[in-house]
Amino acid sequence: MSSDLLTPRFSSSIFHKLLLTTSVAAVSVLAVNVVADNDFDHDGKTDMVVWRPSDGVWYVQTSSSVWTYSFSRQWGLVNDVPIKNADFDGDDINDMAVWRPSDGVWYVRTSASNWNDSFSVQWGQAGDITLGNSDFDGDGRSDMGVWRPANGIWYIKTSSSGWNTNVSVAHGMAGDTPITQSDFDGDGIDDMVVWRPSDGNWLVRTSSSGWASAFTRQWGLIGDVPLMNSDFDGDGKADIAVWRPSNGTWYIRTSSSNWNDSFSVQWGLYGDTPIVNTDFDGDGIDDMAVWRPSNGTWYVKTSSSDWQDSFSRQWGQVNDVPLANTDFDGDSKADMAVWRPGNGTWYIKTSSSSWNNSFSRQWGVVGDVLINN
């Protein structure tokens, strides 16, 4: 029997240690989770946050202070994996969390305690892929989840159980790409999804079935970039979508058609970075956008025009890091933002000015990890 059709297994045991290795796709994709919007001061705007591997310190500049007030907390060690946009205590403010591959422990500082109190849970082992800010029990708080490439199993500790109840579901195999923080059945709970580059198949296990039912759609080719957590038809469910670097085309299967109907739009060139899960026109539907490193230009096709109208803004330069799905001015539209590793500066073009006005803040140093992406 295929491992993709196995039923969930519930266990309270810690799994055996096994050293695994994984590979990372060469193409950069910016997929930002919308459950929490990198908001440490609870004002509904994006803050500027970096995590410094060399000393394990989180450095935060708050939007409520117009990015003039900052604070920091030491939390983590070299080689830890920071968990971005996560809310473990359910107060709708980002917590500070890292996952340590060497011992598989999740270390969390809670925002409800002003990031002073902490807890830790052992969950995972070297070689696992963390599932970030995922919610598999529907309580609005981050669960602790990893996907193990060696056996294709999803291992989840649920927040509703105080991270004491374990769920394991076999879904996927070595070489697959886990699609995280995506809801295909529209129940507000994350599904378990992998994309298989070898044959382009999307394999989806739905949370509404207790991850017992699954479906498959073939969509994509080797070399394509799967687009996580994207909604191009506005029905509140994840679509099946890829961007093809070789021809710059977006290929979409819509959830409103049960992922049977499709459309494609050529937008971008080889070498561009697709900006995923980002809404520039404020209609609640993902736009198609790429950032071009060679000239620092953002190219946007708007969903409100049925991807017929487009605009561009030059913003950034080679080696900058473009930021997806950021809202620094609080108008519920995406801004255009880049972070420059060479000088640690954030450069922002605001959507409220039609991306004409800009500001910058120096925040970070070479080697820092952006918590926004």
**Residues 87 and 142 sit within 8 Å (Cβ to Cβ):** yes
Task: Indicate whether 353 belongs to any domain.
Answer: yes
Provide the domain limits for residue 279. Answer: 17-47+272-372
264-321: pLDDT as tens digits:
999 999 999 999 999 999 999 999 999 999 999 999 999 999 999 999 999 999 999 9
Task: Indicate whether 309 belongs to any domain.
Answer: yes
Task: Indicate whether 364 belongs to any domain.
Answer: yes
Task: Please give the Cα distance from 12 to 158 (Å, whole number).
Answer: 11
E strand or H helix that includes residue 297: strand 297-301
- Written as six digits, the tokens of 148 are 């193990």
Provide the pLDDT for residue 372.
Answer: 80
Bridge partner residues of 67 (DSSP): none
Residue 288, helix vs strand vs coil: strand
Task: Indicate whether 62 belongs to any domain.
Answer: no
Average pLDDT over residues 53-77: 97
Q: What is the pTM of this model?
A: 0.89
Provide the pLDDT for residue 34.
Answer: 38
126-159: pLDDT as tens digits:
999 999 999 999 999 999 999 999 999 999 999 9
**C-beta neighbour count of 92 within 10 angstroms:** 15
Task: Please give the Cα distance from 209 to 371 (Å, whole number).
Answer: 33
Task: Indicate whether 109 belongs to any domain.
Answer: no
Q: What is the mean pLDDT of the chain?
A: 90
- pLDDT category, 373, cuts 50, 70, 90? low
Task: Indicate whether 57 belongs to any domain.
Answer: no
Q: How many domains does the chain have?
A: 1
**Residues 363 and 67 sit within 8 Å (Cβ to Cβ):** yes
Task: Indicate whether 26 belongs to any domain.
Answer: yes
E strand or H helix that includes residue 362: strand 358-362
Amino acid at 130: T
User: Does the structure show a pLDDT above 50 at 178?
Assistant: yes
